[in-house]
Structure 1
Amino acid sequence: MSKFTLNKLQLTNIIAFVAVIVMNTLSNTLPLNGRSAGEISDALPSYFTPAGYTFSIWGLIYLALLGFTVYQALPAAQNKPFMQQIGWLFALSSAANVAWLFAWHYGWLLLSPLIMLVLLVTLILIYIRLKIGAVNPALAWVERLLVQFPFAIYLGWITVATIANIASVLANSGWAGFGIAGPTWSAIMMLVAVVVAGGVLVNRRSLAYAGVLVWALFGIRAAYPAVPVIATTAVIAALLIIALAILGYIRTRSTTHRLSPRPA
């Protein structure tokens, strides 16, 4: 990218982040269409929606993204590979974030999961391009903290949010679920989350990504403690993700040792 393009990219990323924060704030303080996100979730119940406190993870996500936004805006960041790797994907993910708010608050239920999938795909692409969790001993700690960490936890939460969004739409569309009870579908979707996490964690040691998924699973358990199949599956799924994260850490750690230079 030319210096002019990089300058535009840095400014666009700042505007995109500010737009996300402003619209998320207004969506609950106005609120958009007269309903807060919590009120909409309560009106569209599903057995995959976690307890309310679980959504506090957004505070950490947006704080981390603030760190990224400030860091990428520094003049020295233009020479960093991550600027080329992320490119315009962060701006696209932010546009999807804002678009989803309108779809959710205005009851465009069939559109909302499609927009959420766009957000998920952009974050997956960022995750892959940044090689988050891959072996890279030369990567500075500041980039791990301000570039890789924000997108790892963002992707972790959107992984769960996408499944929850689809579950809410299906549960409230009159879909009979092939005769399978709602709690059982919730258990199935938690196992799907484990499979998705496995694809991410076995070859990468993104403990941040795993941590967010575990947080969400225990949030689901907290929401339905009296439903045995949900409570039990949530714990099992969380333990499986922890095991996958440890396995990925051990594998990449052994690779790091093989790649590390040995004294003559």
Structure 2
Amino acid sequence: MTAATPTAHATLTTTDQARRVVVVAAEIFCVVGTLFGIGVLGTRVEEAAGGALAATATLIAPAGPAFSIWSVIYLGLLAYAVWQALPANAVRERVRRTGWLAAASMVLNAAWLLVTQQGWIWASVVVIVALALTLGVLLRRLTAQPASSTVERVVVDATFGLYLGWVAVATCANVTAALVDSGVDLGSVGNQVAAVVVVAVAAVLGVVFAQQLGGRWTVAAAMAWGLAWIAVGRLGDEPRSVATGLAAVVAVVVVLAAAARWRGRAALRAA
């Protein structure tokens, strides 16, 4: 599939202008939510909701350093908010098809952080699932119409690819945290079996993303990053679980191999 003809001479419509403003406003809201999440204006995420989302709360919680990926994602979202507001970009069909979804993802991100501040763990599950679905649709639309420049690939595709990959793993961790916080306890062995199943689900998601999104490396890299830190947490910290840690290592390999396979197929089709 080839990129659409650039719309350099397209007219900036009222809808385009509204979308540009909404995306910038959503980015500002996202920044405010982040200030709550990191403890500047509120309680840090790992301390909110009674510690249900802390790095040592469940077998699926990634170790603390995993969350540094948000710095890259947030920087990318800021760059995107500026990039999409440029008149030449605002009229492009690819931006028109994804801009509202990008704004929604920023609002949902901030909403998740604000919900966790209230300790509403199951509400946070609803929000993060909505966020994951929003990003999934956004990436499908980006895949249907390839980027026209390197800047666009970095600012748009890479940013939202990392965003989706990380949120996919975070969703698995969030659901697990909600279940544990609700008192679900299958016993030592049962909990580890359940954790391995959740990790396997994440690996399957990685394969599906590779197939549906053409093996995007940014999606796979973010998922591998999150899964690798789950392995680090379970093999080197509490709650310790060798089975879960090893399952996470295998999942990393599966996700990256799937991306490589589908990238290879795409290259062969383009040859």
TM-score after normalising by structure 2 = 0.87
Residue 100 of structure 1 is matched in structure 2 by: 112
CA distance, structure 2, for counterparts of residue 64 and residue 30 of structure 1: 21
Does 1:79 find its partner at 2:91? yes
Partner of 2:103: 91
1:187 to 196, 201, 211: 196
Q: Does 1:215 align with 2:212?
A: no
Q: Which residue of 2 aligns with 1:164?
A: 173
Deviation at 1:177, TM superposition (A): 4.5
The correspondence for 2:269, drawn from 223, 247, 255, is 255
Shift of 1:40: 3.1
Instruction: Say whether the 8 Å CA contact 1:218–1:235 is kept in structure 2.
Output: yes
C-alpha displacement of 1:101: 1.4
Letter in 2 for 1:158: V
Aligned to 2:155: 146
Counterpart selection for 1:175 from 184, 197, 201:
184
Q: Which amino acid aligns with 1:50?
A: P
Q: Residues 179 and 55 (structure 1 numbering): CA distance in 2 closer, same or farther, change over 3 Å?
A: closer
Q: Does the Cα contact within 8 Å between 1:96 and 1:119 map onto a contact in 2?
A: yes
Quickly say closer, same or farther: Cα 1:201–1:41, change in 2 above 3 A: farther
Paired positions, count? 252
Residues 93 and 122, structure 1, Cα contact 8 Å, conserved in 2:
yes
User: Does the Cα contact within 8 Å between 1:183 and 1:227 map onto a contact in 2?
Assistant: yes
1:172–1:117: structure 2 CA closer, same or farther, 3 Å change rule? same
Distance in structure 2 (CA, Å) of the matches to 1:172 and 1:27: 19
Inter-partner Cα distance in structure 2 for 1:3 and 1:20 = 26
- Specify which of 99, 111, 115 is matched with residue 127 of structure 2: 115
Q: What is the aligned counterpart of 1:38 among 35, 38, 46?
A: 46
* In structure 2, C-alpha distance between the alignment counterparts of 1:85 and 1:19, rounded to whole Å: 22
- Aligned pair in 2 of structure 1 residues 201, 148: CA closer, same or farther (>3 Å)? same
Asked if the contact 1:40–1:105 (Cα under 8 Å) also holds between the matched residues in 2, the reply is yes
Cα drift, residue 184 of structure 1: 2.0
What are the residue-to-residue correspondences of 1:20-39 with 2, within 5 Å?
20-32=30-42, 35-39=43-47
State the 1:10 CA deviation. 0.5
Shift of residue 178 of structure 1? 9.2
State the 1:30 CA deviation: 4.1
**Scaled by the length of structure 1, what TM-score is found?**
0.89
Tell me how far apart the structure 2 counterparts of residues 227 and 90 of structure 1 sit (CA, whole Å). Answer: 37
Runs of 4+ in 1 over 3 A off after TM superposition: 176-180
Alignment of 1:116-135 (within 5 A): 116-131=128-143
The Cα RMSD (Å) is 2.1
Q: Hey, what does 2:81 align to over in structure 1?
A: 69
Equivalence for 1:50: 62
CA contact (8 A) 2:36 2:114 kept: no
In 2, Cα distance between the equivalents of 1:30 and 1:71?
Answer: 27
Q: Give the % identical residues.
A: 28
Contact between 1:214 and 1:241, CA under 8 Å: does it hold in 2?
Answer: yes
Alpha-carbon distance in structure 1 between the residues aligned to 2:65 and 2:37: 18
Shift of 1:185: 1.6
Native 8 Å contact 1:46 1:182 kept in 2: no
